[in-house]
Structure 1
Amino acid sequence: MNGKEDKTNSSEVLERMSLGELKELRKKLDRAISNYETRKRQQALSALEQAARDHGFKLSELISDRPSGRSKSKAGEAESSGPPAYVNPDNPEQTWSGRGRRPRWVHDALEAGRTLEEMAA
Structure 2
Amino acid sequence: MFDKLDSLDIEELKDLRKTVDRAISSYETRKRQEAISAAEQAAREHGFKLTDLLGNGKAGRGRKSNGGTTIDAAKYVNPDNPEQTWSGRGRRPQWINEALDSGRTLEDLAA
**What TM-score, normalized by structure 2, do the two folds share?**
0.52
Structure 1 residue 99 and structure 2 residue 67: aligned?
Answer: yes
Q: Tell me how large the CA RMSD over aligned residues is.
A: 2.7
1:36 partner amino acid: Y
Identity, in percent, stands at: 51
- Report 1:9-28 matches (<5 A): 10-28=1-19
Stretches of structure 2 that go unaligned for 5 or more consecutive residues are: 73-111
How many equivalent residue pairs?
Answer: 68
Structure 1 residue 67 and structure 2 residue 59: aligned?
Answer: yes
* Pair 1:20–1:98, CA change in 2 (3 A): closer
Runs of 4 or more consecutive aligned structure 1 residues displaced over 2 Å after TM superposition = 65-68, 96-104
Is the contact made by 2:39 and 2:50 (CA closer than 8 Å) also made in structure 1? yes
Q: Shift of residue 61 of structure 1?
A: 0.9
* Pair 1:101–1:39, CA change in 2 (3 A): farther
Q: Shift of residue 51 of structure 1?
A: 0.6
Stretches of structure 1 that go unaligned for 5 or more consecutive residues are: 1-9, 69-95, 105-121
1:44 equivalent in structure 2: 35
2:48 to 54, 57, 68: 57
Could you give the per-residue CA deviations for residues 10-60 of structure 1, whole angstroms, max 9, x where no partner exists?
A: 121000100000000000000000000000000000000001001110001
Is the contact made by 2:65 and 2:71 (CA closer than 8 Å) also made in structure 1? no
2:7 partner amino acid: R
**What TM-score, normalized by structure 1, do the two folds share?**
0.48
